[in-house]
Amino acid sequence: DSGVTQTPKHLITATGQRVTLRCSPRSGDLSVYWYQQSLDQGLQFLIQYYNGEERAKGNILERFSAQQFPDLHSELNLSSLELGDSALYFCASSVGGGGGRETQYFGPGTRLLVL
């Protein structure tokens, strides 16, 4: 158990809908990262927040957005869902904001299925 929690574990929804995924980082960690893992794309970095501020952006679609709240938990919002958004969404956390010598600890993931 990494100490990172994610809810829900599974989510099934229809195309065009909007969902919110939630992540709580390990105690003491200030950074939260979001990743999407699909069978054909591997693990893709979406976005990073550090202490409430956006720190880095990866391959995140405009239909997706995220935020980190004062208690450091984070939410990833996915809207106008398409079939291709079906994937495993991981959240990870680390102590600091980057610097290149930090380890990320991953949550158990949320499996999203869009029908």
Partner 1 sequence: EDKVVQSPLSLVVHEGDTVTLNCSYEVTNFRSLLWYKQEKKAPTFLFMLTSSGIEKKSGRLSSILDKKELFSILNITATQTGDSAIYLCAANTGNQFYFGTGTSLTVIP
Q: Return residues touching partner 1 (CB under 8 A).
A: 2, 4, 33, 35, 42-45, 48, 55-56, 58, 90, 97-109
Beta carbon nearer to partner 1, 12 or 43: 43
| CA atoms of 61 and 56, how far apart (whole Å) | 14
| 34 versus 72: smaller Cβ distance to partner 1 | 34
9: which 2 tokens?
Answer: 């574990």
Structural tokens at position 107: 């949550």
CB of 16 to partner 1, least distance (A): 29
The residue (of 16 and 98) whose beta carbon lies closer to partner 1 is: 98
Q: In whole angstroms, how far apart are CA 9 and each of 40, 96, 101?
A: 21, 26, 30
